[in-house]
Structure 1
Amino acid sequence: METSKKAVITLEGITKTYVNGKLTVPVLHGIDLSIYEGEFTSIMGPSGSGKSTFMNILGCLDRPTSGSYRLDGEEVAHLGDDELAYVRNKRIGFVFQSFNLLPKLTALDNVALPMVYAGVSKAERKARASQLLTDLGLGTRLEHMPAELSGGQRQRVAIARALANDPAIIMADEPTGNLDSKASLDVMHIFTELYQEGRTIILVTHEPDIAEYAGRNVVLKDGLIVEDRINPHMKGLQVGGESHV
């Protein structure tokens, strides 16, 4: 795939093999892929295709067995644990299917937590977390615990948390998997708006209708990319770039 935009992620020959005693399980078999600045990419594939392993490597949650992974030109495939933690905290925002909110923290404190690790002052953490939640329609839910929120509201808290340190890249792993159709539309509307703001969005999904929100669809099968196509009819976009659902 050729483009004039800058590649923010470049993968070359990425493999991943899990070893459990004498059992060796190869999952990824040599992935070559570039993801470009401001791109909205979906990663699709059937169960067992390797997409979750692939997403963990993209998000620096796991290391490849071999190959090169460059993030903004910097090799990250073999960084140490502290260096990878910095990348995850400052450069990539994560959204998960199961929300991964801390149950004993309020919505506000869940969103503020990544800023604690980034060394942001308490006053700034609170102000930014409050603004992010308000922007996502949760201004009246700041002090609610996760158990007091609907699934869609919890996912919006998770998106706000992903945005806490203003990362250029948002990675979402099945973000609508635990949501009903209305909440799924709301969440995909948010991702569309983040894309329109210029963020790079990478979304893993098994749902074709969710993948249609992305401008590029990458399909994995048996640990290999078998399809990489441009989607000229992104759902959620109108002529002129306005979003709708």
Structure 2
Amino acid sequence: MTRDYVYDNYNPKPLDLILAVIAALAMPIFVGYLFDIIGALIPLGIYYGVFAVLIVRWRKGSLDYEIQRDNLRAQFRSYLTPLFVVLFLLQGILVITSWFTLVRTGFLDPIGWLLTLVIWAPINAFAEQLIWLYTFDSFAEYYKEGRKRSVMVFIGGGLYIALIGLIHALFWGKFLLESNSIFPFTQIFFLIQFIMPIGYIFLYRRTGSMWPIGLIHVFLNLTGVLFSGYSILPYLLMIG
């Protein structure tokens, strides 16, 4: 494995800077606005399908979800780095805090709950970080050396945080799992939620794969749905 997978393999162009800014600042506003009109289905298609998959695949040439079929066990064993273990343990703490804070809806819609568990939870876990990291990497790797690189890393970091914050505030916050504010679990939850995306940047660059990040994220998604009984189905279409 190279010392920095993204540094060695990604050379963004001016178009990538434009797309990254759109993804970070305009897309969350747009999908949040659409949700208020027609529900979550089309906004999710835009977020996952257009931005996380199509744009990233087009601009970077790969989603970095490689499967080494002849060496699958060794491939995934190689992801068990100290950083992965630390981030997974932190995610475990998030799971524990969510047990205390999540609002239980009860299993009012068993079919919707099951579909949310087996379809939405993994899709979200393995998709949304693609556009997060593309946004950061497009600025961070625009210059490879010198002061200009430092400036662009700073800008990319700001857009990375902006994208994560805006998509949760303007879109996910309208219909995703609800939680109660319970000290100190809520405070611990938000502190670790701030740390995790920073860890994702380093984990991706060191492993050259999105699999470790997706596996960490799906752990939180699955347990959240299991704990709460949440179903996303009522929010997909809300016309009128």
Which has the bigger relative contact order, CA under 8 A and spacing at least 6? 2
TM-score normalised by L of structure 1? 0.25
Structure with more of its chain in strand, by fraction: 1
Which one has the bigger helix percentage?
2
